[in-house]
Amino acid sequence: EPLICRSTHNTRIERLWVEVGSQFARRWRAFFYRLEALHSLDRSNPHHLWLLHLLFLDLINEDCQDFRAEWNCHPISGEGHDMSPEDMCFVGQVREGMYNDDCEGVHPNVIQRYYGTHGHKVRRAPGQTGAGQLDDEEISLPPSDIEDDSSEEEEEDLGQQIEDAHADEFHHEAVSVPKHANPFDDDESMQLFYDSLEEAMQADLVPAGYGLLPHEWDEDGYPAFEVLKSGRGGKKLRVALPDSIWRPRAEMWARALYILDQITYQNEAS
């Protein structure tokens, strides 16, 4: 009889997601909620989402890389014998040798084309098996057996192959991804945005009306934490957002959004 238990008890990945959230992802989530609540972020506006990507995507990726580096150095109990992932990788290389991936950096479509099992059908002359046949050896085919290039079947899309192979593993529809769109129609407007943002950052300008000036705060001052709801039960988590890190990022958002709004307004007026 199979043993059935909760997924949190039978895989290490569940614990890893907890660490990802507590170490950095939860703070970014709280920060984006703050931008929406206090600093004029409209998550239904594709231009605002584009601006989030522009300003913060590289910083999020840096946090991911920092977490990966720290995680690969922490000891793993049980089957890991208190060795870190880097230790286990090094020991494996010493015992088994270095692994060289011949296809590293090669696009999957190219790998499928030259190493896959599917390809164009080869038509051979009657009685010819193809055994020992060289690619450049001429083959005389009857006129009726000459293939028309226009009738050749195209290679099956690799993405569709992957989707079909893993269809049984998924029991829900894919989560829709919010759309983001570049608000600028020409390079001149884009360059104006970049130049204006650079000048505003150098001058340390903070626009009014975006909840970042002292007279726009409540009596408790600028908030030092956010409260998130987690899990099905709606458990409340108090997430600290240190002022020295997160307020400058909010100010950068306000500057960029103000400049974006001004350029968009001018373009629409003209």
Report mean pLDDT in 10-residue bins for the chain, 270 residues: 48 80 93 96 95 97 94 82 88 86 80 67 60 50 47 57 73 78 93 96 95 93 92 86 96 97 89
28: Cβ–Cβ under 8 A, 6 or more apart, which residues? Answer: 56, 60, 63
Residue 149 CA to residue 61 CA, distance in Å, equals 46
Q: What pTM was estimated for this model as a whole?
A: 0.69
**Looking at residue 149, what is its pLDDT?**
47
Helices (H), the chain: 12-20, 26-38, 46-71, 85-96, 108-115, 158-165, 187-202, 243-269
Other Cβ atoms within 10 Å of 165 Cβ, number: 9
**Looking at residue 224, what is its pLDDT?**
94
**Looking at residue 74, what is its pLDDT?**
86
**Looking at residue 201, what is its pLDDT?**
95
**Looking at residue 163, what is its pLDDT?**
75
Residue 165 CA to residue 178 CA, distance in Å, equals 27
**Looking at residue 5, what is its pLDDT?**
47
**Joined tokens for residue 251:** 């100010």
**∠ CA 260-264-199, rounded to 5°:** 35
